[in-house]
Structure 1
């Protein structure tokens, strides 16, 4: 085969097995880990997938496989492209997902450029995604990660490899055992990599937040006080401090301009549509099917939908059935069956049928 691949290695089992499989298949493999953790913080300031210990594990794996390994410095870029927008999103009342930006703006943008500088034909990762026929498709239903790759530049797809995309997690761990890799039993990281401990504590260090009113959607009256609108997200039920009330309330809207958090019954969090920005399509716009599916959160099922309007990187989508907690800052991802079509960041939710005290369009 003889083609050169830059294998992104996180120190976890998925990327370790990906690199080993590529070597086994005859590729010339170069292992690389992207350094995100800063010098001025403790070693444990990043999750296990991005820590100095993880770099040590990745280097051990590379030695066992017999490939070169490099630690690439992306500290400034990660701060600029991932952490700063994450904080800014919360400051504006959104609930951002940094993994989408990391894949779009770092792994399949900056890292792909680095791969080309090193004479590599491909970048490989441990994502559970299938690349075939010029498109990206869902991998193992229990681990599928296409949701996080909607922002991938279309021109990058031919240069992306996902060696474990067609496998299930137990199969990957079994292969790691066969290869004799020390990451075979390493637990998965579920948290945001640069947030240690409680997210609210992290945000409190970076946001300008102050107490304000909790407003009941049905009456327009203040029924409580929040400790900073930026700390709340649409659909949230816990932590509202309304335990004395006999009414069940959820966060319906977060307004950081007025510093108000609007709460209401669960049906007020059900939305029949949404608007998205920074739309990225992996097919030509004219090839979008009339009926497609939209997934508004990771681990929620996609629902049938249609595109009502599209212009200048924005799109309005009507959902076939209302969805709970359509949240600004999260991703709405477009599919046709198993194929990933693209997506965008949710700007606002639309078409709420809750009437007692009419909601605005957003």
Structure 2
């Protein structure tokens, strides 16, 4: 008789990564329970949610569970998803930020609410299809091309021992090959690239939730109004296209969005280079005194990390100085800390600091204030 290694709740999205995760865990001798979190409302339109969260995806996930031979549950998270993910996303744009909802979803839903549900079902672990490697109480980067540790900086430390990432050590082609071996219908399913609850155009989505008020495009260098914007919530730091300045000789980028005055400040590309930042809602996966003197900081999912130093840490916030100026350090995005491949934590960018022309990195004293 096969003795189970433990009971695992696998978060199944209807995609190939979570499908293979369920199959691998079952083959390894775990007692697997498949579950999908229902986010879509009763009155949804056909294109309300992207493929990773749609009713069609739930059907695919159930088919996979049947093939693997595990039970499958559809869990109702509609109200929680609206409250914890969609509403803050809209509020962030209204406040002049550019939020990333995937971070909140992992932090507040998958490895918080879903983990609590798993415990109620007698499960020892929650597994997902993230490309992340867990070793003990530490998280490390998975496949460099698909690594998703960037989205997990907000994970509570106490949750890490209960997390499993069965495909974290694999590359995407390997995952698809395994899906083919198991005869899973998701083997060739394309990846979802969009925000799950924003189907199509983000501007249209925001227009349905926020009132657009045209206002001035203000030049940073001269203080002059050089154009008109369509609504401050439609612009993000570093944006060049869509400013309507093609009739001028100026090459301008969005430097700052100010909802209070309904102004969008634009300037030369150099004005979008910053060598520091302040972050809020900081979460560390190590003790503060364990932070290395020099660590690596990543300010966008698709950008390479750069060396940085923590200048201040306390009261839920952090100030970081960067060795190299970074383009478009954007409020609402995530600042994520690493030591090599190990994830140390992160926070939401509150505001950029220090114009990129004066890095001041070498010789900057480190004053680590905690508490």
Per the normalisation by structure 2, the TM-score is 0.95
1:43 deviates by 3.3
Number of aligned residue pairs: 355
The 5 A counterparts of 1:178-189 are 178-189=181-192
Write the distance in 1 (CA, Å) between the matches of 2:247 and 2:45: 41
The 5 A counterparts of 1:41-190 are 41-190=44-193
Alignment RMSD: 0.9
The answer on whether the counterparts of 2:278 and 2:352 sit within 8 Å (CA) in structure 1 is yes
1:354 deviates by 5.8
1:331 deviates by 0.2
- 1:108-162 alpha-carbon deviations (Å, 9 max, x no partner): 0000000000000000000000000310000000000000000000000000000
Write the distance in 2 (CA, Å) between the matches of 1:167 and 1:237: 37
Question: Match of 1:44, SS?
Answer: coil
The answer on whether the counterparts of 1:272 and 1:320 sit within 8 Å (CA) in structure 2 is yes
The answer on whether the counterparts of 1:150 and 1:343 sit within 8 Å (CA) in structure 2 is yes
The match for 1:283 is 286
Please tell me whether residue 16 in structure 1 is matched to residue 19 in structure 2. yes
The answer on whether the counterparts of 1:91 and 1:208 sit within 8 Å (CA) in structure 2 is no
1:40 deviates by 1.5
The answer on whether the counterparts of 1:43 and 1:52 sit within 8 Å (CA) in structure 2 is no
Write the distance in 2 (CA, Å) between the matches of 1:354 and 1:176: 50
- 1:316-355 alpha-carbon deviations (Å, 9 max, x no partner): 0000010000000000000000000000000000001469
Unpaired runs of 5+ residues, structure 2, are: 359-371
Unpaired runs of 5+ residues, structure 1, are: 356-362
The match for 1:265 is 268
The answer on whether the counterparts of 1:293 and 1:305 sit within 8 Å (CA) in structure 2 is yes
Where do 4+ consecutive residues of structure 1 move more than 2 Å? none
The match for 1:305 is 308
1:247 deviates by 1.5
The match for 1:244 is 247
1:195 deviates by 0.4
Per the normalisation by structure 1, the TM-score is 0.97
- 1:229-250 alpha-carbon deviations (Å, 9 max, x no partner): 1110000000000001111100
